[in-house]
Chains A and B, each alone.
Chain A
Amino acid sequence: AQTVTQSQPEMSVQEAETVTLSCTYDTSESDYYLFWYKQPPSRQMILVIRQEAYKQQNATENRFSVNFQKAAKSFSLKISDSQLGDAAMYFCAYRRSGRSGGSNYKLTFGKGTLLTVNP
């Protein structure tokens, strides 16, 4: 079974600084997706960024970028120029590719990292 580990229960960053959230995962599959979700106090699950395992290039979305190390099974999220609105719980998640077979689009989540942004 796949597992996702977030080793940092809490992190803090100064406004305008850069912070990196860590995530490692375990899988025997070669084709899969990795995600970072943001959950603000409203509790809504917001997709921040997605990485497809067969793509070597790291995904970026504005101030958010990932460092995807497939061999090491590592998937960290870097937030640049941190803003007060970035304060939230961040979840790393894994999903097998549909091309791998099976019909369940289940997301396997880590336990989350609570990010505080200090003004």
Chain B
Amino acid sequence: EAQVTQNPRYLITVTGKKLTVTCSQNMNHEYMSWYRQDPGLGLRQIYYSMNVEVTDKGDVPEGYKVSRKEKRNFPLILESPSPNQTSLYFCASTRDSPSKRYNEQFFGPGTRLTVL
């Protein structure tokens, strides 16, 4: 089954304790992205990656890091989490197309993070 998986699904942590949220897709997609969802703000892009070792900032990258060492994985790293990073996080992936025609973007199930 084609899917994007995220782990953990729920996490409660304390300020300053480094954490990693994993994202993996089994569709051989080149493009992967992280979003955060906050009440009244919709979803906003944190980082994206066009392929292995190619990453770039989205709209709200402060306080986050990413890496793309393998095509299927795109972990989100919070090196020193703060309470304002309490949010619902989504990973998404899609195929890149040389013709740039439309390809559906697939979302993971979300990770609910609480930073105390």
Binding site for B on A (CB under 8 A): 4, 33, 42-45, 47, 50, 52, 91, 95, 97-99, 103-107, 109-112
Which residues in B have their C-beta under 8 angstroms from that of A4?
42
B 57-116 contacts with A by CB, 8 A: 58-59, 88, 90, 92, 94, 96-97, 99-102, 104-105, 107, 109-110, 112
Whether B109 contacts A105 by the Cβ 8 Å rule is: no
CB distance from A4 to the nearest CB of B (A): 8
* A-contact 0/1 string along B15-49, CB 8 Å cutoff: 00000000000000001010100001111110010
Which residues in B have their C-beta under 8 angstroms from that of A107?
35, 43, 45, 92, 105
Name the residue of chain B whose CB is nearest to the CB of A109: B42
If A43-B88, A105-B33 touch, whether A98 touches B100 (CB-CB below 8 Å) is yes
Name the residue of chain B whose CB is nearest to the CB of A33: B102
User: 15 pairs across A/B with beta carbons < 8 Å?
Assistant: A4-B42, A43-B88, A43-B112, A44-B110, A45-B90, A45-B92, A47-B104, A97-B100, A98-B97, A98-B100, A104-B50, A106-B58, A109-B42, A109-B44, A111-B41
Give the distance in Å from the alpha carbon of A107 to the alpha carbon of B35 in the complex: 9
Give the distance in Å from the alpha carbon of A47 to the alpha carbon of B33 in the complex: 17
Which residues in B have their C-beta under 8 angstroms from that of A50?
102
Give the distance in Å from the alpha carbon of A97 to the alpha carbon of B102 in the complex: 8
Whether B42 contacts A111 by the Cβ 8 Å rule is: yes
Whether A110 contacts B42 by the Cβ 8 Å rule is: yes
Give the distance in Å from the alpha carbon of A45 to the alpha carbon of B33 in the complex: 14
Whether B109 contacts A104 by the Cβ 8 Å rule is: no
Give the distance in Å from the alpha carbon of A44 to the alpha carbon of B99 in the complex: 29
If A43-B88, A43-B110, A45-B90 touch, whether A105 touches B105 (CB-CB below 8 Å) is yes
Whether A106 contacts B48 by the Cβ 8 Å rule is: yes
CB distance from B114 to the nearest CB of A (A): 14
Give the distance in Å from the alpha carbon of A106 to the alpha carbon of B58 in the complex: 8
CB distance from B43 to the nearest CB of A (A): 4
